[in-house]
Amino acid sequence: MWRATVLTLYPQMFPGPLSESLSGEGLARGLWRLDTHDIRAHGLGRHRAVDDTPAGGGAGMVLRADVLAAAIDAAAPADDPRPRLLMSPRGRPLDQARVRALAAGPGVIIVCGRFEGVDERVIEGRGLEEVSIGDYVLSGGEIAAMVVMDACVRLLPGVMGKEASGEEESFEDGLLEYPHYTRPREWEGRTIPEVLLSGNHAAIARWRREEAERLTRIRRPDLWQRRKP
Ligand code: SAH
């Protein structure tokens, strides 16, 4: 079973939104599993301290390497085959190809940073791979970890109703998705493109392809450039 283990200072945030809808039904049906580990359980002293002031000075606090390493070792033994991710704005930006790869594997171990981040030595010492969910700064890694898990879990076998519905989506072929329409046929004077009502499946497929290409060119020239023809 695909298993996610999350190390966090806020375990009560989980499963949070992942308990609803596709991911929540998947959890309830045992299609994946989520364990949380409280980093503070490995904190030092009476106050269970997990952070300290940055070497070299400056604002904020840094998660201690010794505390975080103890938490990682307790949550995941050295021979655990799952990739160890550290949510971090410095990481490689998450994309659908990486999500597919993670979903196809045994699961993930995810470390959620807080404060200014974590001591650099634990990243090297425990082989953490930094993963970003975009070029902006969150206050902690928890919501980012939920993003990773949500994106992976919906691809697990049996989680999505129709197996096919993952295939044609945005990014799967380097394109954004074509527009969708449903009933009513006319709404506030707006109609549905004729071709979609034509029953001509080849023409529909062609229209969708052209729309996907048009939208990608206009909205995401970066994706369009990188596309393999
Ligand atoms: N001082 C850091 C930001 C720390 S934000 C810097 O400038 O790079 C606190 C924590 O939130 C981080 O340790 C990380 O776990 C999480 N986080 C913030 N932004 C993120 C992003 N874009 N992607 C993934 N995790 C993020």
CATH number at 208 reads 1.10.1270.20
Same domain, 112 and 142: yes
Instruction: Identify the pLDDT of residue 181.
Output: 98
Domain membership of residue 162 (yes or no) is: no
pLDDT on residue 168? 78
In a domain, 210, yes or no: yes
Residues of the chain with pLDDT under 70: 162-166, 229
- Asked whether residue 212 is domain-assigned, the answer is yes
Q: Which of ligand 1's atoms lies nearest the C-alpha of 135?
A: 22
Give the pLDDT confidence score for residue 126 in this predicted structure. Answer: 98
> What pLDDT is attached to residue 172?
84
Q: How many CB atoms lie within 10 A of CB 220?
A: 17
**CA–centroid distance for 85 within its chain:** 11
- Residue 167 pLDDT: 72
Amino acid sitting at position 67: V
The answer to the question of residue 23 being in a domain is: yes
pTM listed for this prediction: 0.96
Q: Which atom of ligand 1 is nearest to the CA of 118?
A: 13
| Residue to mutate (ligand 1; options 87, 118, 147; most atoms within 8 A of CB) | 87
Shared-domain flag, residues 149 and 181: no
| Distance from Cα 192 to the centre of ligand 1, integer Å | 43
What's the confidence (pLDDT) of residue 161?
A: 80
99 token code pair: 């999500």
How many domains are contained in the chain? Answer: 2
**35 and 148 inside one domain:** yes
Find, among 65, 23, 75, 18, the residue nearest to 44 by Cα. Answer: 65
Q: 58-89 b/e with 16+ CB inside 10 Å = b?
A: eeeebbbbebbbbbbeebbeeeeebbbbbbbb
Structural domain includes residue 160: no
The domain of 215 spans: 168-227
Q: Has 16 been labeled as part of a binding site?
A: no
Annotated binding residue 137:
yes
pLDDT of res. 165: 60
The confidence score (pLDDT) of residue 164 equals 53
From the CA of 165, how far away is ligand 1's center (Å)?
32
Whether 98 and 176 map to the same domain: the answer is no
- 223 domain-assigned: yes
Radius of gyration of the chain measured on its C-alpha atoms:
22
Q: Strands, DSSP E only, in the chain?
A: 2-8, 32-38, 51-52, 62-63, 84-93, 107-111, 129-132, 186-187, 190-191
Whole-number pLDDT of residue 71 = 98
Quote the ligand 1 centre to 62 CA distance (angstroms). Answer: 12
How confident is the model at residue 163, as a pLDDT? 58
Closest by CA position to 114, among listed 143, 94, 91: 143
Beta bridge partners of 33: 3
